Amino acid sequence: MYDKNNIFAKILRKEIPCDKVYEDEFSLFFYDISPQAKIHILGIPKFTCSTFSDFIKNAENKNIISFFKSVQFVINKLNIEKDGYRIITNSGEDGGQEVPHFHVHILAGEKIGRLR
C-alpha cells in the first residue's frame, strides 16, 4: 500500500522544496539532503510506486523507459560518465529503504567505497 504522505510524494506535490537537477513529465531528480558522496542525486518517477519492483510491474513501458533515459540525461548533464558513478536503489526492509517511493541514488564525484 503506497503511503501518500511519504517525503518524496510531498516533494512531487511541491509541499516540500527540493534542490532540483532535472524534471520532465515522468520524473524528478534532485540533490539528496544528506549526501553520501560529493555528488549525490535522487531520481524519482512521478508514477505512484513504492519500490523498484512496484514501478516495473505497474508502470507503463513509456514511463519506465522515460525514467531510465532521464537517469542517463542527468549523468550527461553532470558530466560524470567518464569518471564513473554508482546507481543504487534500496528496496524494502532488507534493502534498507527509508522513503517508500521508488528512487535511485546516483553517487559520483569521488571514488565510491565498496559496500562490504
Q: Which is nearer to ligand 5GP, 42 or 59 (CB)?
A: 42
Gap between the Cα atoms of 50 and 28, Å rounded: 15
The answer to the question of residue 96 lying near ligand 5GP (CB under 6 A) is: yes
Which triple of cell numbers denotes residue 50? 513504492
CB 52 within 8 A of CB 92: no
Q: Is 40 a catalytic residue?
A: no
x/- track of binding to ligand 5GP for residues 4-43 (CB under 6 A): ---x--------x-x-----------xxxxx-------x-
Q: How many residues does the chain have?
A: 116
Q: How far is the CB of 62 from ligand 5GP (least distance, A)?
A: 25
Q: Which of 23, 30, 25, 20 is nearest to 99 (CA)?
A: 30
Count of positions on this chain that bind ligand 5GP (CB under 6 A): 14
Residues 39-68 that bind ligand 5GP (CB under 6 A): 42
Which triple of cell numbers denotes residue 36? 553520501
Question: Which residues are bridge partners to 29 per DSSP?
Answer: 22, 43
Site of interaction with ligand 5GP (CB under 6 A): 7, 16, 18, 30-34, 42, 90, 96-99
Q: Which residues are catalytic?
A: 103
